[in-house]
Amino acid sequence: MPLFFFLSGVFFSVSSKPKAFILDKTDALLKPYFVTLFSFAFLSSIFPEYVGSKSLVGVFYGNGSVIQVEPLWFLTHLWALFMLSYLLFYYTGLQKASDMIKVLFILFLFVFGSFYIDTFKYFHLTISTKEIPLRGLPYSLDIASISIAFFLSGHFLSKRIQLFRPNIKILLFAVFTLTSISIYTDAYIELNQRTYNEPLMTTFAAFAGIYMILSISYYFSGNRFLTTFFTTFGVASLFILLFHFQIHNNVYTLLHEHSIFNSFALDAIIAFIISISVPLLIREVILKSEFLKLFYLPLKSNKTFQHILKK
């Protein structure tokens, strides 16, 4: 997750006017979120044994603990990060601050977030006479201090990332750092679970991991096959996020219950492959339909919507 937030920050821009920015991010992030979860809610009424069910109220709460497809908490939280970051830059001028101020601000966010990450880890929301156990605030705003620190780090380093070239000594040090911290400490981060053990070591490990992935990506980009392979999944990342969870769970359960392969590991591998491959097919179907594209892709890229606007 630190890598995802970091990369999102790399491509963040405040060049748009507030209204256009809000509409664009809502269209790109919240629209597919609501369409997918409402679709699953409808399907759960028909196939509860395969889809399961959760309250529709949870869809609007936008938190991983109360939605049907837990990984989609990332979309609502990322939307919130974009909004918070835009307001921060638009009204404070942080973008023009010195590098020292930026570093100190990010350090403050990490420290603040590490102290208060448990504040809303477990609490109950009372609606009428019903108590609903929750993990976190709406749109996971309670972890925003940590996630926005990674997000802003990516943004402040965006020019360097765009010109990135691996340094073998730094890469080896990053590998050593991540490996050592993983083996010899209890450092661990799982933002959706509100877990941020040993914050200092965890943060070092996160940035070491980010540097490693950037380096690997750079080397992979020099190979045509690897570039094509990962680009195929990269362009479909939204659809993989939206659908892989339910597909994986159902396929794994089916394989396991019927003892088709009699191997937990093989069941998991096959379920994983299917869960990231089927979304590619779903994407192709959606791309061939201007109507379906209205619900999953930005409206500004939709020919039907643009045609209506011209009228």
Predicted confidence (pLDDT) per residue in 93-115, tens digit: 888 889 999 999 999 999 999 99
Closest CA to 9 of 70, 72, 94: 94
**Structure confidence at residue 48 as a pLDDT band (50, 70, 90):** low
139 forms bridges with which residues in the sheet?
Answer: none
**So what's the pLDDT on residue 9?**
94
**So what's the pLDDT on residue 246?**
87
Q: Is the pLDDT of residue 53 over 60?
A: no
Strands (E), the chain: 123-127, 130-134, 188-190, 195-197
123 forms bridges with which residues in the sheet?
Answer: 134
**So what's the pLDDT on residue 55?**
64
Q: Is the pLDDT of residue 149 over 90?
A: yes
N-to-C CA span, the chain? 43
**So what's the pLDDT on residue 41?**
80
Average pLDDT over residues 27-50: 82
**Structure confidence at residue 33 as a pLDDT band (50, 70, 90):** very high
| pLDDT tens track for 63-95 | 888 888 889 999 999 999 999 999 998 888 888
**Structure confidence at residue 177 as a pLDDT band (50, 70, 90):** very high
Instruction: Tell the residue number behind the tokens 């609903």, with chain if given.
Output: 132
Return the H-helix or E-strand segment holding 40. Answer: helix 31-46
Average pLDDT, the chain: 88
**So what's the pLDDT on residue 234?**
92
Closest CA to 69 of 221, 223, 192, 220: 192
**So what's the pLDDT on residue 56?**
73
CA distances from 290 to 35, 225, 238, 302 (A): 16, 31, 18, 7
**Structure confidence at residue 58 as a pLDDT band (50, 70, 90):** confident
**So what's the pLDDT on residue 310?**
58
d(CA 29, CA 77): 10
Cα 166 to chain centroid, rounded: 25
Helix, strand counts (H, E) of the chain: 16, 4
Average pLDDT over residues 189-213: 94
- Give the pTM: 0.88
